[in-house]
């Protein structure tokens, strides 16, 4: 019976839609491509022809987007002409369907000017805090801790200098953070990346527009009531007709796609007489993102023209942006210093998956100014996503040219629930941090940061968002205060590291961690055996020398540690290659010297006792700490031992090493060179012909090495175990 039932008919199109073609379908590719063609045709008809001739638009659109950005940099007027042409085409081509009748967006917004909503209000009761804060890695950054972390982000290349300066200005200026005089309209108020919680916490009036789903409004009500802010929202009926909060939540909300003109009508009247900033935060997948972005743009356009509203957007880093020259230079430096495995992977990947350097030639404008464009577009996002973001760029530039504040800061890659629900994206996000300086943020961090940058743009008259701030080209409004998460300064193009990120995540999860766990476990076992042998020898000496008992084990596991240089070289661990190689070399050199000179192998050599015991205890603790850390197992006692015993063990071990090396000098000179021990024969013997070589070469090496390592470990001890300003994150 059920198999004979006719398939369920698709819902009738209504609201904002792509136009219908001659076959009764509503395709997206043609409109998408033609929008870019019409936009660029305003300044470069030749490029428009190339866009229209592109047969594989779904896979080749990225080049044309970059071409458009670079062409727009020729003059400020060119950028605005492109923006105006693109938006005009969308407003006259995209349709608004009501009662089965199609209208262009422009016609619909002109025709439906009377319908509206009732207004609901919820007032928060909390005391205002007027303090900048950023949730980060389980804690909350405030004050000095916030500025310290911002400085680290800037130095690493995770954010731009202008962004760091903006965040520090906000942290230092509490008056800016009193938003009781500000009205923000949020189209898509419940967006994971939107600044609703922060705006509420700072006492703003937020006019919230979101879909009519009770659970959404209950969440917004709860956030508001726990804050000093004021929430204004659309209702189907007068607020006094609702008997409970549940009923109020059920009656709240509207539909941006189908009630676009009515939302515009309501917003033109709400909070009358006050300046407002309207932000577009709603997101839907695929073609729906274009539709809802066009709907929001139709609303915003009228609010800008009729209420002189400012605008606010969240830019994606996965786009083509004008970037500072130092960002391009830094990306080249990071590429040069990238781990060997990335270079090998880049050699193996070909075609669409190829990893290409993040580098483009500068664009020279008509007046001689040079601009750098970073192509960080991820092709898999698709042309609908890039069109939706591009029309937002166009609206920002046009709004700013009309004398209104236009805030459009770049948000970083963020592990929102919608993104990580896709297993491929989730794996890519896990592996991306292997490509320095990329950092993937949690949504609470991104939301707070973008909210603070919005406040900065609204408050600071010198921000790039302010129309009175001079820019060389309107596209530079997106350059300022960029929190791009490292996309601009990555050595490889951000859009090309997807496969590498996934492979890195899989390798780390299923191969690397297991290998490193086995390696660290083997080292713990080896050094434990050596310490056991030393202890047994000390309690019951035999005719054998101390080195005869423990030397073979120590030598084997010390030579095994040469693998750590390979680990560092391949980027398997974070240790610097040079430092690691120097530490391993000094140990291997000592083992070779002792093996070469029997006179220093005896139990009467107190330097040998000091060195071997210090080595064993240090390595047992160190490798145990590393091994457990791979599985995020934190043993308090082990951590304390790791960052405390070195105070005694490091100088003890170094004293033993230097003493053993000094005592071995006569024996090295007396014995003939041997190919079986090339380190002694061809390195140590030429240096240690006399005491002068020892004091000129060996002593300075140890003094510098110990001082550097000791200072580093003391700093790490302060950071890990506390003792002042070492903590980075303040927890509430």
Cα separation of 335 and 356, whole Å?
A: 10
- Angstrom CA distances, 310 to 209, 313, 616, stand at 17, 10, 66
- 266: CB partners within 8 A, 6+ apart: 116, 117, 119, 234
- Burial pattern 548-586, b for ≥16 Cβ within 10 A else e, equals bbbbebbbebbeebeebbebbeebbeeeebeebbbbbeb
Taking the CB of residue 611, how many other CB atoms lie within 10 A of it? 25
Alpha-carbon distance of 372 to 357, in angstroms, equals 14
Q: Is 530 helix (H, G, I), strand (E, B) or coil?
A: helix
Angle value at C-alpha 179, between 177 and 180, nearest 5 degrees? 135
Helix extents (H) in 112-172: 143-156, 161-172
The angle at the Cα of 481, spanning 480 to 482, to the nearest 5 degrees, equals: 95
- Residue 72's Cβ-count burial label (10 Å; 0-12, 13-18, 19+) is buried
Q: Does residue 357 contact residue 329 with C-beta atoms inside 8 Å?
A: no
- How far is Cα 485 from Cα 665, in angstroms, rounded to an integer? 54
Q: Report the alpha-carbon distance of residue 523 to residue 443 in Å, rounded.
A: 40
Angle, nearest 10°, between helix axes 423-431 and 498-507? 80
Let me know if 657 is a catalytic residue. Answer: yes
Q: What burial letters (b/e) apply to 74-105, b meaning 16+ CB within 10 Å?
A: bebebbbbbbbbbbebbbebbbbbbeeeebbb
Read off the tokens for 495: 């859009």
Is residue 225 within 8 Å of residue 124, measured between CB atoms?
yes
Query: In the 8-state DSSP scheme, what is residue 19?
Result: P
For residue 23, the Cα-to-chain-centroid distance in whole angstroms is 44
Residue with tokens 């020259």: 325
Residue with tokens 């997206």: 28
Full DSSP string of 412-450? PPB--HHHHTSHHHHHHHHHGGGSTT--PBPHHHHHHHH
Query: Is the bond leading into 437 cis (omega within 30 degrees of zero)?
Result: yes
Q: Which member of 650, 662, 694, 710 is catalytic?
A: 650
The reply to whether 650 belongs to the active site is yes
Whose structure tokens read 């527009």? 209
Q: H or E segment at 48?
A: helix 45-53
Burial of 514 (0-12, 13-18, 19+ CB in 10 A): exposed
Beta bridge partners of 96: 16, 103
- Secondary structure class of 214 (helix, strand, coil): helix
Residue 668 CB-density burial (10 A; 0-12 exposed, 13-18 middle, 19+ buried): buried
Catalytic residues: 650, 657
């Amino acid at each position: 019976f059920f198999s004979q039932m006719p398939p369920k008919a698709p819902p009738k199109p209504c609201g904002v839609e792509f136009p219908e073609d001659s076959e009764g379908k509503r395709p997206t590719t043609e409109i998408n491509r033609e929008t870019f063609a019409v936009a660029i045709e305003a300044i470069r008809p030749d490029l428009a022809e190339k866009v229209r001739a592109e047969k594989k638009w779904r896979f080749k659109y990225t080049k044309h987007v970059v071409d458009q950005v670079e062409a727009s940099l020729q003059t400020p007027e060119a950028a605005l002409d492109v923006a105006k042409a693109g938006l005009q085409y969308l407003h006259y081509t995209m349709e608004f369907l009501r009662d089965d009748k199609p209208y262009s967006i422009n016609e619909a917004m002109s025709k439906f000017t009377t319908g509206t909503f009732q207004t609901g209000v919820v007032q928060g009761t909390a005391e205002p805090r007027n303090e900048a804060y950023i949730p980060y890695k389980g804690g909350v950054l405030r004050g000095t801790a916030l500025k310290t972390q911002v400085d680290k982000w800037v130095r690493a290349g995770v954010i731009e200098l202008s962004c760091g300066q903006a965040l520090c200005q906000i942290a230092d200026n509490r008056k800016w953070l009193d938003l009781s005089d500000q009205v923000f309209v949020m189209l898509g108020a419940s967006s994971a990346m939107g600044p609703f919680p922060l705006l509420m916490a700072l006492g703003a009036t937020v006019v919230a527009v979101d879909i009519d789903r009770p659970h959404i409004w209950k969440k917004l009500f709860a956030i508001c009531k726990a804050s000093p802010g004021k929430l204004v929202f659309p209702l189907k009926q007068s607020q006094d007709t609702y008997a409970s909060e549940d009923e109020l939540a059920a009656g709240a909300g509207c539909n941006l796609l189908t009630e676009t003109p009515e939302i515009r009508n309501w917003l033109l009247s709400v909070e009358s007489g006050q300046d407002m900033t309207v932000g577009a935060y709603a997101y839907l997948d695929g073609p729906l993102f274009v539709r809802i972005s066009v709907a929001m743009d139709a609303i915003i356009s009228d609010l800008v023209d009729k209420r002189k509203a400012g605008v606010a957007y969240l830019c994606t880093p996965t786009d083509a942006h004008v970037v500072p020259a130092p960002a391009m230079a830094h990306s080249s430096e990071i590429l040069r210093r990238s781990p060997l495995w990335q270079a090998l992977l880049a050699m193996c990947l070909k075609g669409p998956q190829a990893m290409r350097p993040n580098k483009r030639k500068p664009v020279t404008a008509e007046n001689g100014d040079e601009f750098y464009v970073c192509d960080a577009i991820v092709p898999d996002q698709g042309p609908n996503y890039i069109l939706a973001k591009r029309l937002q760029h166009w609206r920002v530039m046009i709004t700013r040219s009309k004398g209104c504040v236009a805030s459009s800061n770049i948000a970083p890659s963020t592990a929102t629930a919608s993104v990580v629900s896709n297993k491929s994206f989730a794996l890519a996000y896990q592996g991306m941090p292997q490509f320095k300086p990329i950092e993937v943020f949690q949504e609470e961090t991104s939301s707070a940061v973008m909210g603070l940058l919005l406040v900065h743009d609204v408050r600071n008259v010198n921000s790039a968002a302010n129309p009175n701030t001079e820019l060389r080209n309107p596209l530079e409004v997106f350059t300022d205060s960029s929190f791009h998460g490292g996309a601009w300064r990555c050595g490889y193009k951000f859009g090309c590291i997807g496969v590498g990120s996934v492979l890195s995540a899989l390798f780390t999860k299923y191969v690397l961690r297991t290998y490193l766990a086995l390696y660290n476990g083997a080292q713990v076992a080896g050094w434990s055996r050596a310490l056991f042998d030393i202890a047994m020898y000390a309690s019951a000496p035999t005719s054998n020398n101390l080195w005869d008992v423990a030397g073979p084990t120590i030598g084997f596991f010390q030579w095994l540690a040469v693998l750590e240089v390979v680990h560092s070289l391949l980027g398997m661990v974070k240790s610097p290659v040079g430092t690691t190689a120097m530490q391993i070399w000094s140990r291997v050199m000592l083992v070779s010297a002792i093996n070469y000179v029997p006179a220093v192998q005896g139990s009467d050599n107190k330097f040998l006792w000091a060195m071997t015991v210090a080595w064993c205890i240090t390595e047992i603790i160190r490798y145990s700490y590393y091994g457990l850390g791979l599985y995020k197992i934190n043993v308090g006692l082990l951590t304390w031992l790791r960052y405390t015993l070195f105070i005694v063990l490091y100088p003890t071990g170094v004293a033993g090493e230097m003493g053993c090396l000094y005592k071995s000098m006569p024996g090295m000179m007396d014995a003939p060179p041997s190919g079986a021990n090339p380190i002694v024969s061809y390195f140590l013997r030429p240096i240690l012909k006399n005491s002068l070589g020892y004091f000129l070469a060996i002593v300075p090496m140890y003094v510098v090495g110990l001082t550097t390592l000791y200072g580093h470990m003391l700093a790490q001890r302060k950071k890990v175990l506390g003792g002042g300003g070492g903590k980075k994150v303040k927890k509430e």
